[in-house]
Amino acid sequence: MTNTESSLPGVRFIGSGSAVPDRVLTNQDLAQMVDTNDEWISSRTGIRERHIADGENDSVANLAAKAAQQAITAAGLQPENIDLIILSTSTSDDLFGTAGRVQKILGAERAVAFDLVAACSGFVFGLVTASQYIRTGVYKNVLLIGADVLSRWVDWQDRRTCILFGDGAGAVVLQSSSQNSLLGFEMRSDGKGNDLLNINYLGRSTFHPITMNGQEVYRFAVRRVPEVIEKSLHHAGLEVNDLDWLIMHQANQRIIDAVVNRFGIDPAKAVSNMGKYGNTSAASIPIALNEWVKADKIQKDNLIAIAGFGAGLSWGSAVFRWG
Ligand code: COA
């Protein structure tokens, strides 16, 4: 199966943006809250600090809208040019969905807006979903946002999980084009691993905070992520050495290092910023993408593979050219 058919409208990536809360929580701060220390956290995860939502201003909707407005401006568009808004989030401000609030803040009055829930694979799954609407000719300008405020759902007394997560949002604008830049993708789910990572409904309008089997999730990621990257490259007719950049979900530096070693690629090509942000779930890939674009490291026509993985279990990869 190939993901690209030349007679269909293509997908171009024309802008990016990101936003994180101002408040920073360092590993030293965490050591005051639970029995942990900077050395344990940074050597096991690569995370040194994370941004944490502080009140209403840092809602999913507000962070998502900030990232989205940047992406729309970078794309040279206005909010009213957007046809479709997909908000990938697992931490909605409202269980009925948050995309409508984002639409309202932006003033993207022509758009249809909905949420997509696929945990830390949300940005990859959202990208593939968005691309289907463009490839079929239904929509021209699509805003894709990954935004999560997992700090709301962390048990701040559980040292096994509270050290990992941070809050933020990232966005891209995709546009219909005669050239197709989304060259390949692959998405996977395995519900047999569903109980490895959860925020479960407890009853009477309450949810249990995050529970995770860290070792099993680690093993799953190291085994499955390289497979899915290889599949999406195969669909694109490319090889790993063709890549300019690999942007994996920013969960753990050791997972990135394991994938880099497995492929034998230059570690400098593997984007990493989790030291500053922790695991921001659906936001981690677009935050990293935007940071590398803004720093002029990612250049027009650079070949990028992204890979997300997490609860579901779900995992996926996409290969595209930037700009
Ligand atoms: N500080 C200090 N000690 C800690 C700790 C912390 N924050 N968290 C756990 N420990 C302790 C454990 O209690 C355990 O102690 P014990 O041996 O006395 O029982 C010891 O450290 C080892 O715990 P373990 O859970 O085996 O650690 P680990 O090496 O597997 O590392 C993770 C834990 C969470 C860092 C690692 O499993 C991981 O990164 N998994 C993937 C998680 C992930 O990415 N999830 C999101 C996917 S989207």
Is 45 near ligand 1, meaning CB less than 6 Å away?
yes
Q: Is the pLDDT of residue 46 over 80?
A: yes
pLDDT at 148: 98
Q: Half-sphere exposure of 214 toward its Cβ, with a 13 Å CA cutoff?
A: 13
pLDDT at 6: 67
Is 217 near ligand 1, meaning CB less than 6 Å away?
yes
Phi-psi category of residue 223: left, alpha or beta, with phi > 0 → left and psi -120 to 50 → alpha: alpha
3-class SS of residue 2: coil
Pocket of ligand 1, candidates 34, 44, 315: which has the most ligand atoms within 8 Å of its Cβ, to mutate?
44
Atom of ligand 1 nearest to the CA of 163: 7
At 55, is the pLDDT very low, low, confident or very high (cuts 50, 70, 90)?
Answer: confident
Q: Residues 172-190: what's their mean pLDDT?
A: 97
Q: Is the pLDDT of residue 2 over 60?
A: no
Pocket of ligand 1, candidates 48, 148, 215, 250: which has the most ligand atoms within 8 Å of its Cβ, to mutate?
215
pLDDT at 5: 55
Question: What's the whole-model pTM score?
Answer: 0.97
Q: Whose CA is nearest to atom 31 of ligand 1?
A: 44
pLDDT in tens, 225-279: 999 999 999 999 999 999 999 999 999 999 999 999 999 999 999 999 999 999 9
Distances (CA, A) of 311 to 194, 213, 249: 7, 11, 12
